[in-house]
Amino acid sequence: MKNMFKNKYLQISFAVLLGALPCWPLPALAQLAFVLNSNDDTLSLIDVKTYKEISRTRVGREPHHWAITPDDKSLIIGSVQSNDLTFVDPVTGAFQKRIDKISDPYQIGFSPDKKWLVSASLALDRTDIYSAGDYKLAKRIATPRGPSHMTFSADSSTVYITLERSNEVAFIDLGTQKVSAVHPVGKAPVGIWLTPDGKHLLVGLLGEDHVVVMDAKSGKIIKRITTAKGTHNFAAMGDKRRLLVSNRVANSISIIDMNTLALLETFPVTGGPDDMEVTADGKELWVTSRWAQKVTVVDLETRKVKLQIPVGRSPHGIYLRNHAPRE
């Protein structure tokens, strides 16, 4: 009888821990992976050493992407249905604060000069620019249709934003806070990456099977790198040369050489691979497998799937505190 009571108590405690209620984790000693489960409004915390999910807590409604504050003290989670930003400790996952009335923060990012937080509002066809100090709205810019992902020039003069539904990339001048140019690229551009030398933009086309290479100043298309169906998002391997791109439809990941702008290789990763992070030692790739409700860990030496970790529904954004350089 005592064992039965103990087992029931453990089951109830575990259910609470996994987010039945918004109970935030206490500071932990584990090195963590943060996973945003967009279809069940939760944040999963995973111990990167044991590969175990240690908590699942509610955040805003439909969280997709994240940004680290310029002081490195907060991980911000944007939730598009509740129109808010949730701040958590990037080491422990502990709740810090919530800011409301941030319209449709699908993709968010800070300018390198730490002045602006830019929010791409995918459903509202606009890009909002907030002051990084007080998160007050500075400018609302029409960017039809479907502003999706972003990257910044190193000097903070420009933010480049993919327009998923109009098949274009918008260049926004952060000085004037106006659209300076719009360039057609191909079907459903999503992920976008600026090469470390600042010369080229790489754009993943979810509606096609390749990455577009653009001149970062003129917007001219230089070449197209064939990868696989549903090219989606990017992650650097940390050596300023190799860039990973997820192919969500083809269930694979490709590696591109950013110096030669050539495809190096492609390897299989199941479950609709989406966002990615590389561990600090460069040995593992952590991928959100969107359709499998799992995080997939890949051994980067063998290019083989090491294991999959169950998380919430439609895991999208992922953040590793101990990650490889993002360039």
pLDDT in tens, 112-161: 999 999 999 999 999 999 999 899 999 999 999 999 999 999 999 999 99
Residue type, 113: D
Q: Is the pLDDT of residue 321 over 50?
A: yes
- pLDDT by residue (tens digit) across 62-113? 999 999 999 999 999 999 999 999 999 999 999 999 999 999 999 999 999 9
Domains and CATH numbers, the chain: 2-272 (2.130.10.10)
What's 283's DSSP letter? S
pTM for this model (two decimals): 0.91
CA distance 283 to 208: 30
When the pLDDT of each residue in the chain is averaged and rounded to a whole number, the result is 92
Query: What percent of the chain lies above the pLDDT cut of 70?
Result: 91
Task: Give the count of alpha carbons within 13 A of 288, CB side only.
Answer: 28
What pLDDT does residue 30 have? 78
pLDDT tens column, 11-65: 333 333 434 334 555 444 679 999 999 999 999 999 999 999 999 999 999 999 9
- % of residues, the chain, pLDDT over 90: 90
Separation CA 294–CA 251 (nearest Å): 14
The structure tokens listed for 192 are 């976008």
Q: What SS3 state is found at 7?
A: helix
- What's CA 81's distance to the chain center, in Å? 17
Task: Specify whether the CB–CB gap between 71 and 45 falls below 8 A.
Answer: no
236-247 confidence digits (pLDDT tens): 999 999 999 999
The pLDDT assigned to 24 comes to: 52
Q: Is the pLDDT of residue 292 over 50?
A: yes
| 14 φ, ψ (degrees, to nearest 5) | -65, -35
d(CA 250, CA 290): 13
Dihedral of the alpha carbons of 164, 166, 170, 176, in degrees to the nearest 10: -120
